[in-house]
Amino acid sequence: MIDHLLQVENLETQFKTPDGIVHAVNGVSFTLNEGETLGVVGESGCGKSVTMLSCLRLIPSPPGKIVAGEAFFHGQDLLKMDPEELRHVRGAQISMVFQDPMTSLNPVMTIGKQLCEPLKLHLNMTDQQATNRAIELLGLVGIPRAGERLKDYPHQYSGGMRQRVMIAMSLACNPQILIADEPTTALDVTIQAQIVDLVKRLRDEMGMAIIWITHDLGVVASIAHRVAVMYGGYIIEESDVKDLYANPTHPYTLGLLGSLPHIEEKVHTRLFSIEGMPPVLYKKPVSCPFAPRCTFVTEKCWQENPKLETVSPGHRVACWVDTKSGSKR
């Protein structure tokens, strides 16, 4: 086995709901190398967040349940790890930034106290050491007058600054992997650009690997080295970032990119739209999950779900049809 920092194999997660069991993640495998940024793209409900939460066993259980799979981090399976051991990994070696900085910060605790918490817990720092490091961290993420602002509460920060605090907190213990779950979705474009630039700078300085979950194909293009596109609980295409945008191959990826208006659009063209809507999977599909909305659909697509196959070096696609020529693979 090659040395991957994180190697996830065949992960499956389900949720029990009053309407039946929802198959949120249906056998996802991917790897993450040191210092690499993996973008995970998909629409709401495609399983992108659940996949990453499952790796850290942060799925509320019940109703959620990881039914199969392995997630190796430094050769150890996170999914079978002793809960006490896992606590030392979470927040210290693998940390996470969430979408909504207001709900993920404690509103009745000062920013300083929240920042010092992981430092004292994971690195056994004293109060003084932790405070000094907290000031340093706030400075690192570009918050002016860090010393004074430690005593502030989250509501006294703006949205962009709260997200900076979340990033500072996740970087507190020098993690090897940072999982960012839609970190810029709730922010305005100019603030979003600030945060993306910040994360890129910190990545280059600290050399951590990043998993960046988003629905925004533009943001991913600006930060990721490699991109995985998810649909209906599966990775349906995975490739180097440049190759994905230059040669999108899966009909869903083609549709997603086609539905974006081009910013340099000169002549008014009608947007390509994918008809129908994303599925909610109450049973594991036999067919390709995208078949009901696919313009390339063939007989075979209804009979068997295609597996992720390599189509060119570093480019994997799960589709029965070669979308370039329109013939069967």
Q: Which of 13, 192, 249, 323 contacts other proteins by CB under 8 A?
A: 192
DSSP helix, strand, coil percent of the chain (3-state; round to 5): 35, 25, 40
Site string for other proteins, 65-104 (x = CB under 8 A): ----------------------------------------
Between 267 and 286, CB nearer to other proteins: 267
Q: How far apart are CA 90 and CA 301, in angstroms?
A: 40
Q: Which of 66, 93, 91 is nearest to 80 (CA)?
A: 66
Between 108 and 263, CB nearer to other proteins: 263
Q: How far apart are CA 122 and CA 126, in angstroms?
A: 11
Find the shortest distance in angstroms from Cβ 187 to other proteins: 9
Between 175 and 183, CB nearer to other proteins: 183
Site string for other proteins, 253-282 (x = CB under 8 A): --xxx-xxxxxxxx-x-xxxxxx-xx----
What does the block give as tokens for 42? 């998909």
Q: How far apart are CA 308 and CA 316, in angstroms?
A: 6
Between 272 and 282, CB nearer to other proteins: 272
Angle at 61 (CA atoms; ends 59, 63), nearest 5 degrees: 105
Please state, as a whole number, how many other Cβ atoms lie within 10 Å of the Cβ of residue 316: 19
Annotate 108-167 with DSSP letters as a single string: TS-HHHHHHHHHHHHH---HHHHHHHHHHHHHHTT-SSHHHHTTS-GGGS-HHHHHHHHH
By the 8 A CB rule, do 208 and 176 touch?
A: yes
Find the shortest distance in angstroms from Cβ 257 to other proteins: 6
3-class secondary structure, 76 = strand
Between 30 and 290, CB nearer to other proteins: 290
Site string for other proteins, 139-178 (x = CB under 8 A): -------------------x-xx-----------------
Between 35 and 142, CB nearer to other proteins: 142
Site stretch for other proteins (CB under 8 A), options 15-23, 29-37, 132-140, 186-194:
186-194
Q: Which of 70, 63, 13, 24 is nearest to 47 (CA)?
A: 24
Between 268 and 283, CB nearer to other proteins: 268
Interaction between residue 35 and other proteins (CB under 8 A): no
Between 67 and 277, CB nearer to other proteins: 277
Q: Enumerate residues 198-227 that contact other proteins by CB under 8 A.
A: 215-222, 224
By the 8 A CB rule, do 229 and 250 touch?
A: yes
Pairing of strands 177-181, 94-97: parallel
Residues 6 or more apart whose CB falls under 8 angstroms from that of 227 comprise: 38, 39, 40, 41, 220, 238, 239, 240, 241, 244
Find the shortest distance in angstroms from Cβ 28 to other proteins: 20
Contacts to other proteins by CB under 8 A: 43-44, 158, 160-161, 188-194, 196-197, 215-222, 224, 241-242, 245-246, 255-257, 259-266, 268, 270-275, 277-278
